[in-house]
Structure 1
Amino acid sequence: RPVVRRASHGLCCDARFAFFRRSDFFLHGNSLGFCFFNNVAIAAKYALHTKRAQRVFVLDWDIHHGNGIQNLTYNDPNVFYFSIHRGHGKTEDEWFYPGTGFIGEVGEGDGTGTNTNVVWKRGGMSNTEYAAAFTEMVLPLVRSYKPDLIIVACGLDAAKGDLLGDCGLSPDMYYTMTESLLQVAGASIPIVVALEGGYNLNVSAQCIEQVALALLDEPFDDRAQKDDHEVPSDTMVWTNRSILPQRISPKWAAKHNEGEGLAQYWNHQSLWAELSRRTKKTTRAAVVSMRKAIRALEKVGINIHDLHT
């Protein structure tokens, strides 16, 4: 495809897409889950070791929890790991591989408050739930943490049509998530996107193309939307508005004199409009999961307050 040819000549922004197989975010000791080397964790540690970055934010949107990344960064205050994944339901049939990544796991020791898991208790999550997770948690946390490098563990198995994920992200949502990170990062924070899981080649190809288009600052290609199941709407209808973030005052922010409210330096309006333009009512299960993740952070001093738009 043309986008691949353009990417092969170098991206026009301070971002890179690492096309490699196998995906490796499960690995933390022995091989596991098709993984042999944990590329994302190694990249984060290498950036810190070589002084190329003082803080790294790792965003993992693969539908499986990246237990290897979490284990390797769990006590490191200089790596913030944020994972959105499927977890456990109430029955044995609702168990989801690898069976890790619980909401209460927020880091330990010096790394307390730098690990967050948003856990979907079932399949079926779509653009709506991911838009909520981004606007309520991901984007304000990135902005407040102020990393020198953002690494995305770019799993594509939450996409509609994937053989394992059983969720419903459309290709353009991958474009929007990538674009929103680029907007928050601005010109000063480089972004590396590392390919992870995805078990339907046609679906993965569409989603990869949209991520690459966003990195190239190219317009969204709506040809990939022929089968989009979402009904466009002008506004996001929230099940519970009380969990939206206004400011974050975590230990790691106060330590660096950065504990001021997000409202002072985060212009959320444009991102909110973009992320919510085609979404429906957020499911109760997703709201409960995000509320629990927010409360887990609050217990270790990261307070996310209401935002009234």
Structure 2
Amino acid sequence: MAGRLVKTFEIFPNASLITTEEEKLKGAQQSYTRLHNNVRYQRIQRRQLNREMIAAQTFQTNNRLRWQLLQIAGGNTELAESLEACLGRNVCNVADNLADTISRISAMEDEQAKYKQQLFFIKKNLERLRAKANESTIYATDVWDHQMRNSELYVSGSLKVREFPDQGGNRYKFSIKTKPTRARVNNIDEGAFPVDEYGEEVFINIPAMYIDMTRYASGSIVIRFRAVDSADRVAGYVSRGQLHPHQTSMTVPCLGDFEGPVIEAITDFDIPTAVTIFELFLKQVDSQDGAGHYWFRWYDKDRNEESWAEPQQAAG
């Protein structure tokens, strides 16, 4: 399904948040119920152990215990002493089991109190979200395009938004086209790439590409890089055709520390911020990284000098 191309769209942001909180509440209630039942079971065990402890101690403190054991042992003193020792060990075992059970109950009751507090806050948050369930936000691609007009990465007017029916809401795919750019290579091994040959600062050329950002109704985010010109692909990490060294396949970027901020921006429908983060990502390469280690396959000294000379001439 191609999806519906939209210029403006209305989002009810609290709808997905309400669903998430309802699922969280359901999970917390199930966990609390399991814990509550376990506490009840442990309390039953404690009562049983208390009865066993009282019975064992009563029998042990009976003044006629030794005489009764001798009778049971048929007058065999050694056997009677062995039986008495066995009773003593039994009392110790019951005492240890009782202490462990009491300790478990105490820990579970503390956890139970935390669950009660958690349930309270989830319910309060759910009430707050339900009160704002009908509040909506309208987004317009023209506004985003205007906000990104000065971007060094974004090709003006290239933003496309497609809307797909999805389970629990709509799925949105945001696609942009990027300008060719340069990435600075950091942490270079000067022994393998000497300064007198490569210079103090090394840049590689990153080709134009399409960046697809898909936001599912469930909240998951998928990011893909697509080639504008397939001839621009480079055999980088695991020898697959990539557009940037920090990719783990032909289309999947390895965003590293940039992943959290870019996912947060897409989740919040803040596409201009996401594009700014992508620009920062595409303009740097860590040569010590497993994928970034293949940066030299993008390196072209003549192209770098040519691309560097163009803005200098324009500035002059």
TM over 0.5: no
The structure having more radius of gyration, on CA atoms, is 2
TM-score (norm 1): 0.22
TM-score (norm 2): 0.22
